[in-house]
Amino acid sequence: MTKSKPPVAPRKPREIEQHGLVRHDPYAWIKDENWQQVMRDPSVLRADIRAYLEAENNYTKVHLETPLAALVSELVAEMRGRIKEDDTSVPAKDGAYAYFTRFRDNGEYPLFVRRVAETAFDEGSAEELLFDGDAEGAGEAYFDIGTIAHAPDHGKIAFAVDRQGSEYYALSVRDLETGETVDTGIDKCTGDFVWSGASDALFWVERNENGRSCAVWRRSLTSMDDVLIYREPDEGFFVGVSESQSGDLIFISSNDHTTSEWRWLDARTADTTPHLIAKRQTGHEYSCDHGANGGPIHVLSNYSGATDFQIFAAELDGGGPEAWTPLVAHKSGRLIQDIVSLKDYLIRLEREDSLPRLVVRRLADGDEHAIEFDEAAYALGLGAMYEADTDTLRFSYASPSTPAQVFDYSIADRSRALRKTQEIPSGHTPSDYVTERTFARAADGAEVPITILRRRTTPLDGTAPLLLYGYGAYGITIPAGFSTSRLSLVDRGMVFAIAHIRGGTAKGYQWYLDGKLEQKTKTFTDYIAAAEHLIAMGHTAEGRIVGMGGSAGGLLIGAVANLAPHLFAGLIAAVPFVDVLNTMSDASLPLTPPEWPEWGNPIDDAAAYQRIAAYAPYEQVAERPYPQMLITGGLSDPRVTYWEPAKWAARLRHDAPEGGPYYLKINMDAGHAGATGRFEALKEIALEYAFALQVTGLATDPAK
């Protein structure tokens, strides 16, 4: 291919006035005025915008993808070689059956299957295919399976599928006896739904024209009529629906990032009147579960200043938090993340000292014990469980060097049965790797946790390149889990590190509060402190780091590019939230009103406007020595709209032409998560990693 110059996006004058201040946005035209329809049907994208995006994609193909094609293919082969192609999940019992997923050799999508419960763990026993993801997704440019759930009577399944990437899902029902599939005509749902206890109706969540979850409906499968159960009056709140562990209750939740309100329905009756659990109070966050017929609802709540949450028992007839019975008291620094209610036990997943743990509480007398783990850093999760009347707990465990394991834990005798260890067909020796946990000192003295993975033979003399991953928003903490893909970097001599910066909850909920709104810049300075600490430790050197983050983590990457470009050899910004000021000033966008509690409302609040403008990557682009950047996006992405990365790349090229180069790649057939097939997705990861290897000099001289 002939080398080409970078695309030059036209600059079209656009002045925006807010709070008496005027800003200029010469690339505002890249946002199609008809963006709602584009999300559903990308073919209607305006011709001049499409031409510009395709020019950007062609430039990236010529200058990055083609030169790195051999390396990308090598990486894909390595990554694929670590994936067990005919992999199977651990069956989860529900009455007479056990449900699980498996893959075919060369299959992109999962198959959903079941066995009779008595032969749940007999791999050679007969199984029944309920949904064939490969067949359903054949020929689709994009195919994402939302929820698949069997009916309580085991006679039907329902499934939600998105074929565009816009996160508008279509809902269908299949009779498992006849094989007949019925398209319900519901094509604007979130992908979340639950069955009625009688298996004759579905409770589904509507997504409106602005892409927001706004209402819960009950669809009768006999009349095919819908009854409105709940509509959220506040456009700043998301709506969700879920099922209690007992299966007796259906929960309807409304929440923004700081306030919650939950209701319940009896799943066993046709009653469509939701019962309020606790009226919303600004700043009160709570969630619920229920484990026993006739028993209380268990509430995980930050009521009355419990920053790291506490647990209550609430009677079904309500009464609000003043009437709730305390079960597990608040303890500062110990964040309770999740609960599961069983008939006789309450399970909680919590984090303290930046490490997770599971605690089992016997409801009869309050006796508790924790399940212990030994590694310096690890990830822990609650596994799939359908039943509540059980004394067996399923959980998953992994570390950066230890492949994922699934255990069934006997609460009665405190023993673990290993049900599955992630297989690495090409081979993996955990002892060849070192997992470390270290702490960087932030500018204000806070200790920022960092998880490190490296080969045992990688030198610690500053010569190794390092990929530093970060996120830092919404209270999300990147788990210290296992990734087969990362090994392709680490095996070539690169160190992989995760900075658990403020904005997440690695060190409790206050860690999140200290990285949002007025304190948002601590997220960025924490990340820089982590990079400088790793340099001081000898894990890498200045100019040898590749920074990487996606979505809100892409905002992080854009911000640190402005604050400390000298630290980096390259930056990878995946679907980056970089046009923060414009997005938070457009109340029509899918996530804007619900996200004001996270970032601030620059429409009504002049201080929020100035605060966001001071760090927004798009607003702060200037003539700086920016490193090379790989910037990605998805045309039908409703979370970080395609024009954010596109506008940022255009401004970088114009305002900082001596930096870069800047490579923009917009997936014209996908949304926020990129490619959905398990092997197609590897191509996107491989390009990102090939870029990281190239900018650090490892692309042509692998040191395995």
Active site members: 551, 637, 672
**Residue 270's closest CA among 216, 198, 217?**
198
Backbone angles phi, psi at 138, to 5 degrees: -60, 130
The burial of 179, by beta-carbon neighbours within 10 Å (0-12 exposed, 13-18 middle, 19 or more buried), is given as exposed
In 10 A of CB 290, how many CB atoms?
23
Residue type, 103: F
String of b and e for 622-656 (b: at least 16 CB within 10 Å)?
Answer: eebebbbbbbbbbbbbbbbbbbbbbbbbbbbbeeb
Helix (H, G, I), strand (E, B) or coil at 205: strand
Residue type, 490: V
Q: Between vectors from CA 657 to CA 655 and to CA 663, what angle results, nearest 5°?
A: 105
* Cβ–Cβ under 8 Å, residues 62 and 4: yes
Residue 87 to residue 111: CA distance in whole angstroms:
10
- The DSSP symbol for 684 reads H
Chain-centroid distance of CA 82 in Å reads 23
**Residue 274's closest CA among 284, 266, 264?**
264
- CA distances (Å), 470 to each of 270, 487, 584, in order? 47, 18, 22
Residue 343 to residue 363: CA distance in whole angstroms:
8
SS (H, E, C) 217-265: EEEECCCCCEEEEEECCCCCCEEEEEECCCCCEEEEEEECCCCEEEEEE
- CA distances (Å), 426 to each of 84, 110, 238, in order? 9, 22, 43
Q: Which helix (H) or strand (E) holds 680?
A: helix 680-695
What the block records as the tokens of 288 is 């619920």
